Amino acid sequence: MSNQKKRLNGGEREDEDEDDAEGIGEWERAYVDDRSWEALQEDESGLLRPIDNSAIYHAQYRRRLRMLSAAAAGTRIQKGLIRYLYIVIDFSRAAAEMDFRPSRMAVMAKHVEAFIREFFDQNPLSQIGLVSIKNGVAHTLTDLGGSPETHIKALMGKLEALGDSSLQNALELVHEHLNQVPSYGHREVLILYSALCTCDPGDIMETIQKCKKSKLRCSVIGLSAEMFICKHLCQETGGLYSVAVDEVHLKDLLLEHAPPPPAIAEFAIANLIKMGFPQRAAEGSMAICSCHKEVKIGAGYMCPRCKARVCDLPTECTICGLTLVSSPHLARSYHHLFPIAPFDEVPALSSLNDNRRKLGKNCFGCQQSLIGTGNKPGPCVTCRKCKHYFCLDCDIYIHESLHNCPGCESIHRPKSVSLMEE
Amino acid sequence: MIFKIEDVEVYFPYDNIYPEQYEYMVELKRALDAKGHCLLEMPTGTGKTIALLSLITSYRLAHLESPIKLIYCTRTVHEMEKTLAELKLLHDYQVRHMGERARILAIGLSSRKNLCVNTKVLAAENRDSVDAACRKRTASWVRALPADNPNVELCDFFEKYEKDAERALLPPGVYTLEDLRAFGKKHGWCPYFLARHMVQLANIIVYSYQYLLDPKVAGIISKEMQKETVVVFDEAHNIDNVCIEALSVSVRRVTLEGANRNLNKIRQEIDRFKATDAGRLRAEYTRLVEGLALRGDLSGTDQWLANPALPHDILKEAVPGNIRRAEHFVHVLRRLLQYLGGRLDTENVEKESPVSFVSSLNSQAGIEQKILKFCYDRLHSLMLTLEITDTDEFLPIQTVCDFATLVGTYARGFSIIIEPYDERMPHIPDPILQLSCHDASLAIKPVFDRFQSVVITSGTLSPIDLYPRLLSFNPVVSRSFKMSMTRDCICPMVLTRGSDQLPVSTKFDMRSDPGVVRNYGKLLVEMVSIVPDGVVCFFVSYSYMDGIIATWNETGILKEIMQQKLVFIETQDVVETTLALDNYRRACDCGRGAVFFSVARGKVAEGIDFDRHYGRLVVMFGVPFQYTLSKILLARLEYLRDTFQIKEGDFLTFDALRQAAQCVGRVIRSKADYGMMIFADKRYSRHDKRSKLPGWILSHLRDAHLNLSTDMAIHIAREFLRKMAQPYDKAGTLGSKTLLTQEDLEKMAETGVQDMVY
Report chain B residues whose CB lies below 8 A from the CB of A244: 722
A139 DSSP β-pair partners: A132
A295 DSSP β-pair partners: A288
Closest to B350 in 3D by CA, of B410, B412, B415: B415
Q: How open is the CA angle A87-A91-A92, to the nearest 5 degrees? A: 135
The bridge status of strand B173-175 relative to strand B105-108 is parallel
Report the C-alpha gap between A144 and A136 in whole angstroms: 22
Closest to A87 in 3D by CA, of A148, A163, A34: A148
Q: What is the pLDDT of residue A67?
A: 60
In this model, does residue B221 exceed pLDDT 80? no
Alpha-carbon distance A339 to nearest alpha carbon in chain B (angstroms): 25
Q: How confident is the model at residue A21 (pLDDT cuts 50, 70, 90)?
A: very low
Q: How confident is the model at residue A317 (pLDDT cuts 50, 70, 90)?
A: confident
Burial profile A385-405: b = 16 or more Cβ within 10 angstroms, e = fewer: ebebbbbbebbbebbeebeeb
In this model, does residue B293 exceed pLDDT 50? no
* CA end-to-end distance (rounded Å), chain A: 63
Nearest Cβ partner for A228 among B533, B718, B723: B533
Give the pLDDT mean for B212-225: 72
Which amino acid is located at B21 in the chain? Q
Q: What is the pLDDT of residue A29?
A: 63
Report chain B residues whose CB lies below 8 A from the CB of A228: 532-533, 588-589, 591, 612-613
In this model, does residue A37 exceed pLDDT 80? no
Residues 6+ apart with CB under 8 A from A239: A188, A189, A217, A218, A219, A220, A233
In this model, does residue B294 exceed pLDDT 70? no
Report the C-alpha gap between B736 and A365 in whole angstroms: 38
In this model, does residue A294 exceed pLDDT 90? no
Q: How confident is the model at residue A5 (pLDDT cuts 50, 70, 90)?
A: very low
Report the C-alpha gap between B239 and B216 in whole angstroms: 17
Residues 6+ apart with CB under 8 A from B48: B21, B24, B42, B234, B457, B459
Residue A139 backbone phi and psi in degrees, to 5: -120, 145
Nearest Cβ partner for A224 among B593, B715, B721: B721
Which amino acid is located at B299 in the chain? S
Contact assessment for residue B617 and residue B675, using Cβ atoms and an 8 Å cutoff: yes
Comparing alpha-carbon positions, the chain B residue that sits nearest to A15 is B712
Q: What is the pLDDT of residue B483?
A: 79
In this model, does residue A358 exceed pLDDT 60? no
Contact assessment for residue A95 and residue A51, using Cβ atoms and an 8 Å cutoff: no
Inter-CA distances, B583 with B424, B536, B647, Å: 32, 14, 43
Nearest Cβ partner for A200 among B531, B590, B714: B590
Tell which phi-psi region holds residue B513, choosing left (phi > 0), alpha (psi between -120 and 50) or beta: beta
Q: How confident is the model at residue B516 (pLDDT cuts 50, 70, 90)?
A: very high
Residues 6+ apart with CB under 8 A from A384: A341, A343, A344
Residue with the bigger pLDDT between B267 and B314: it is B267
Q: How open is the CA angle A103-A108-A109, to the nearest 5 degrees? A: 100
Q: Across the interface, do B613 and A205 touch by the CB < 8 Å criterion?
A: no
Give the pLDDT mean for B105-117: 87
Residues 6+ apart with CB under 8 A from A128: A85, A86, A87, A116, A119, A120, A142, A144, A145, A146, A148, A151
Report the C-alpha gap between B754 and B756 in whole angstroms: 5
Alpha-carbon distance B751 to nearest alpha carbon in chain A (angstroms): 28
Report chain B residues whose CB lies below 8 A from the CB of A196: 529-532, 564, 593
Report the C-alpha gap between B67 and B32 in whole angstroms: 12
Q: What is the pLDDT of residue B37?
A: 92
Comparing alpha-carbon positions, the chain A residue that sits nearest to B614 is A228
Alpha-carbon distance B585 to nearest alpha carbon in chain A (angstroms): 11
Task: Note the Cα B225 to chain centre separation in Å.
Answer: 21
Comparing alpha-carbon positions, the chain A residue that sits nearest to B714 is A18
Q: What is the pLDDT of residue B184?
A: 87
DSSP code per residue over A234-293: HHHHT--EEE-SSHHHHHHHHHTTSSPPBPPGGG-------EE-PEEPPTT-EEEBTTT-
Report the C-alpha gap between A127 and A271 in whole angstroms: 18
Nearest Cβ partner for A204 among B533, B590, B723: B590
Indicate the DSSP class of residue A374. G
Closest to A180 in 3D by CA, of A125, A127, A249: A127
Alpha-carbon distance B738 to nearest alpha carbon in chain A (angstroms): 21
Q: Across the interface, do A227 and B613 touch by the CB < 8 Å criterion?
A: yes
* Helix, strand and coil percent figures for chain B, each rounded to 5: 55, 15, 30
Alpha-carbon distance B410 to nearest alpha carbon in chain A (angstroms): 55
Q: What is the pLDDT of residue B596?
A: 95
In this model, does residue B466 exceed pLDDT 70? yes
Q: How open is the CA angle A22-A26-A28, to the nearest 5 degrees? A: 85
Name every residue in A having a CB less than 8 A away from some CB of B. Answer: 12, 15-18, 94, 99, 167, 196-200, 203-205, 222, 224-230, 242-245
Interface probe, candidates B590, B712, B724, B726, chain A, greatest A C-beta count within 10 A: B590
Share of chain A above pLDDT 70, in %: 71
Q: Across the interface, do B531 and A205 touch by the CB < 8 Å criterion?
A: no
**Beta-strand runs (E) in B26-152:** 37-41, 69-74, 105-108
Mapped onto helix, strand or coil, the DSSP state of residue B319 is coil
- Measured over the CA atoms of residue A262, residue A266, residue A267 and residue A269, the dihedral's sign is positive
Inter-CA distances, A168 with A232, B566, B613, Å: 13, 18, 19
Of the ranges B279-293, B424-438, B454-468, which one carries the lowest mean pLDDT score? B279-293
Radius of gyration of chain A from its Cα atoms, rounded to whole angstroms: 25
* Helix, strand and coil percent figures for chain A, each rounded to 5: 40, 20, 40
* CA end-to-end distance (rounded Å), chain B: 22
In this model, does residue A13 exceed pLDDT 50? no
pLDDT tens digit sequence for B485-499 = 777 888 999 999 998
Hey, what's the torsion of the CAs at B224, B225, B228, B233, to 10 degrees? -150
In this model, does residue A422 exceed pLDDT 80? no
pLDDT tens digit sequence for B162-199 = 888 777 788 888 998 888 889 888 888 888 888 888 88
pLDDT tens digit sequence for B7-43 = 888 888 888 888 888 889 999 999 999 989 999 988 8
Q: What is the pLDDT of residue A319?
A: 82
Residue with the bigger pLDDT between A113 and B44: it is A113
Q: How confident is the model at residue B733 (pLDDT cuts 50, 70, 90)?
A: very low
Indicate the DSSP class of residue B512. T
Residue B372 backbone phi and psi in degrees, to 5: -55, -45
Interface probe, candidates A15, A229, A230, A249, chain B, greatest B C-beta count within 10 A: A229
Interface probe, candidates A197, A220, A245, A253, chain B, greatest B C-beta count within 10 A: A197
Report the C-alpha gap between A23 and A9 in whole angstroms: 8
Q: Most distant CA pair in chain A: distance in Å?
A: 75
Report the C-alpha gap between B579 and B568 in whole angstroms: 10
Nearest Cβ partner for B564 among A197, A228, A245: A197
- Measured over the CA atoms of residue B235, residue B236, residue B237 and residue B238, the dihedral's sign is positive
> What is the 3 state secondary structure string of A296-336?
EECCCEECCCCCCEECCCCEECCCCCCEECCHHHHHHHHHH
Q: Across the interface, do A224 and B726 touch by the CB < 8 Å criterion?
A: no
Nearest Cβ partner for B590 among A205, A242, A243: A205
Q: Across the interface, do B564 and A196 touch by the CB < 8 Å criterion?
A: yes
Report the C-alpha gap between B113 and B119 in whole angstroms: 11
Q: Where are the alpha helices (DSSP H) in B565-630?
A: 574-589, 603-607
Q: What is the pLDDT of residue A170?
A: 93
In this model, does residue A74 exceed pLDDT 80? no
Closest to B409 in 3D by CA, of B363, B366, B376, B447: B376
Question: Taking the CA of residue A234 as centre, how many other CA atoms within 13 Å lie in the half-sphere pointing to its CB?
Answer: 18
Report chain A residues whose CB lies below 8 A from the CB of B590: 198, 200, 203-205, 229
Strands of the sheet with B566-569, listed across from one edge? B566-569, B594-599, B534-539, B617-621, B675-680, B490-497, B708-709
Indicate the DSSP class of residue A221. E
**How many CB atoms lie under 10 A from the CB of residue A19?**
18
Q: What is the pLDDT of residue B553?
A: 94
Inter-CA distances, A197 with A159, A224, B542, Å: 21, 11, 29
Counting one residue from A and one from B, how many pairs have CB atoms under 8 Å apart? 82
Q: What is the pLDDT of residue B752?
A: 54
Nearest Cβ partner for A228 among B530, B589, B722: B589
Share of chain B above pLDDT 70, in %: 91
Mapped onto helix, strand or coil, the DSSP state of residue B590 is coil
pLDDT tens digit sequence for A191-241 = 999 999 898 898 999 999 999 998 889 999 999 889 999 999 999 998 889
In this model, does residue B311 exceed pLDDT 60? no
Residue B730 backbone phi and psi in degrees, to 5: -70, -45
pTM of the model: 0.80
Comparing alpha-carbon positions, the chain A residue that sits nearest to B533 is A227
A310 DSSP β-pair partners: A301
Residue B337 backbone phi and psi in degrees, to 5: -60, -40
Q: Please report the ipTM that was assigned to this predicted complex.
A: 0.81
Mapped onto helix, strand or coil, the DSSP state of residue A208 is helix
Report chain A residues whose CB lies below 8 A from the CB of B532: 196-197, 224-228
pLDDT tens digit sequence for B624-662 = 998 888 888 888 999 999 888 889 888 999 999 989 988
Alpha-carbon distance A159 to nearest alpha carbon in chain B (angstroms): 22
In this model, does residue B501 exceed pLDDT 80? yes
In this model, does residue B380 exceed pLDDT 90? no
Contact assessment for residue B105 and residue B173, using Cβ atoms and an 8 Å cutoff: yes
Share of chain A above pLDDT 90, in %: 17
